[in-house]
Structure 1
Amino acid sequence: MAGNVRPVADERDGLLTFLAQQRHVLRLAAHGLSDEQARLTPTRSALSVGGLIKHVTSTERRWMAAVLHREKPLPRREIPASAGRDALAGFRLGERESLSGVLAAYDSVARETEEIVGGIEDLGQPVPAPRGVPWFPDDADAWPVRWVLLHLIQETARHAGHADILREHIDGATAVPLMAAVEGWPVRPWLAPWQPSG
């Protein structure tokens, strides 16, 4: 996938293509990392590159379950007290998890999303709104599928930016040289594709 999104045919194509681009950018931050590096939390936050990929995978899977009405939002009173601790675990790449494993899961979720959205005739179809989550308003009963896709683009882009910062702290690699390495760009006077040190 190139550094910019290709021209899009319509709204559905645009939403899915921009989401795919943000997934690609997030994955770039993991290029060439070992499992140990993917677990590192090199800033003051508890975030790691592997943990971010695990988190966005889980988030996208939950939203697609909501689109298919497989998952009912919990009322506020039913959300367990341990939910905050469990959410933090969702941002960590565990010792028994691998970067290749979370990347494979992310690829699988991406294919599922493409298939699900491709089968929806009307992107205005309502999706039940989450309940009891402070960052979602309590007065919305549902949002359209297009809102879910825009939200996934926003969520993925936010975490792709986090991953860029983490990666730079790990080994100094930045987004454009990583993209050049992954996509096989030639060396230019102003840009050298990333290469492992040593």
Structure 2
Amino acid sequence: MPALVSPVVDERDGLIAFLDQQRDAFASAAYGLTEEQLRLAPTAGALTMGGLLKHVAHTEWAWVGRITAAPGHSPADGGSREQRAAAYGGDFLLTDEDTLASLLQALDEVGAATREVLRTADLDAPVPVPRDAPWFPRDVESWSVRWVVLHLIEEHARHAGHADIVRESIDGATMYELVAGREGWPETPWLRPWRAGART
């Protein structure tokens, strides 16, 4: 995917395109990592590149599920408060079965599902506000599909920034050189595409 979103023809096209771009940023941030590097937590926090890939796919599946279930989706979902607290953050944790290929495939699959849903979804349709986390408002009954997509773009952008920091902390690679290496851009006097074993 190009570093910039192509021109869009309407609101729906723009929402899909910008969400696709933010999702694709994770594939660029993870480009060329080894399975060991995927599990490194090189910053002061506990974030790993693999955990970020897993979390954003899980989050997008959850929101797309809410879109497709509305208006039948129950706003009081998620189990007990104790169960929700125990599960929170679990989607950042990698299992022995998680690999870079499997995590990128999950991102591709959720992206395809999201595009299919959004091509025909009523952007004004109500999506009930979940009640399973303290940050969801109690005085709002529903958001529109449009709001949910904008929220997903926001959520992915925030975590794409985390992914950039985690990746740079692993091997010094930065976004433009990773995108250049992944997309096969020519080398310029000011940008050298990322290559395994080479530092810019």
Instruction: Specify the TM-score bucket, using the shorter chain as the normaliser.
Output: over 0.9
Q: Matched residues in 2 for 1:35 and 1:80: separation?
A: 35
How high is the sequence identity, in percent, across the aligned residues? 48
Question: TM-score normalized by structure 2?
Answer: 0.93
**1:74 aligned residue:** 76
Tell whether the 8 Å contact from 1:39 to 1:48 is kept in structure 2 after alignment: yes
Question: For the Cα contact (< 8 Å) 2:84–2:132, is it kept in 1?
Answer: no
Mark the runs of 5 or more structure 1 residues left unpaired by the alignment: none
The one-character-per-residue Cα deviations of 1:82-122 (angstroms, maximum 9, x if unpaired) are 423322221122222111111101100000000011121x2
CA contact (8 A) 1:66 1:72 kept: no
**Which amino acid is the alignment partner of residue 175 of structure 1?**
M
**What secondary structure does 2:143 align onto?**
strand
**Per-residue deviation, 1:26:** 1.8
Matches within 5 A, 1:41-190: 41-69=41-69, 71-74=73-76, 78-120=79-121, 122-190=122-190
User: One-letter code of the match for 1:155?
Assistant: E
Q: Which residues in structure 2 correspond to 1:2-13 (within 5 Å)?
A: 2-13=2-13
Instruction: For 2:132 and 2:108, locate their aligned partners in 1 and report how far apart those are by CA, in whole Å.
Output: 30
Distance 2:39 2:22 in 1: 21
Q: Provide the rounded CA distance (Å) in 2 between the counterparts of 1:164 and 1:174.
A: 7
Amino acid at match of 2:194: W
Contact 1:47 1:92 in 2 (8 A): no
CA distance in 1, matches of 2:120, 2:80: 31
- Output the amino acid matched with 2:156: T
* Matched residue type, 1:149: V
Letter in 2 for 1:42: P
Q: Report the RMSD for the aligned CA atoms in angstroms.
A: 1.5
Query: Which amino acid is 2:124 matched to?
Result: G
Q: Secondary structure, in 3 states, of the residue corresponding to 1:90?
A: helix
Task: Number of aligned residue pairs: give it.
Answer: 196
Mapped pair 1:29 → 2:29? yes
Query: Secondary structure of 2:53's match?
Result: helix
- Give the Cα separation in 2 of the matches to 1:169 and 1:137: 35
Task: Determine helix, strand or coil for the equivalent of 2:94.
Answer: coil
Task: Select between 149-158 and 61-70 the one with higher mean Cα deviation.
Answer: 61-70
**2:188 aligns to what SS in structure 1?**
coil
Asked whether the 8 Å contact 1:22–1:153 carries over to 2, the reply is: yes
Structure 2: unaligned runs, 5 residues or longer: none
TM-score normalized by the length of structure 1: 0.94
In the aligned structure 2, how far is the partner of 1:124 from the partner of 1:54? 29
